[in-house]
Amino acid sequence: MPKVKTNSGAKKRFALTGTGKIKRKHAFHSHILTKKTKKQKRNLTQTGLVDSTNVRQVKELLCLR
């Protein structure tokens, strides 16, 4: 059996925390920022956690299962 490759896109987008949860960044913070409020832009810089419904899919992309 060949080795299973990690999805390169997922490798760049997600990171594991010390407790094993998966961190992610918010979307909508790369362009068209002039019409967004300061509060919106500030809140988009913070990282979030992957929702429990998507954890299994992301782990498969990262070959963590």
Helices (H), 1-65: 8-13, 38-45, 55-61
Cα–Cα distances in Å, from 9 out to 5, 38, 50? 12, 29, 15
Q: Residue 20: its pLDDT value, please?
A: 94
Which pTM was predicted? 0.82
* pLDDT at residue 65, rounded to an integer: 76
Query: How high is the mean pLDDT in each 10-residue block of the chain (65 residues)?
Result: 92 96 96 97 96 96 89
Instruction: For residue 3, give both structure tokens.
Output: 């080795």
Q: What CA–CA distances, in Å, run from 34 to 40, 43, 45, 46, 60?
A: 11, 15, 15, 19, 37
Q: Which residues pair with 3 in a beta bridge?
A: none
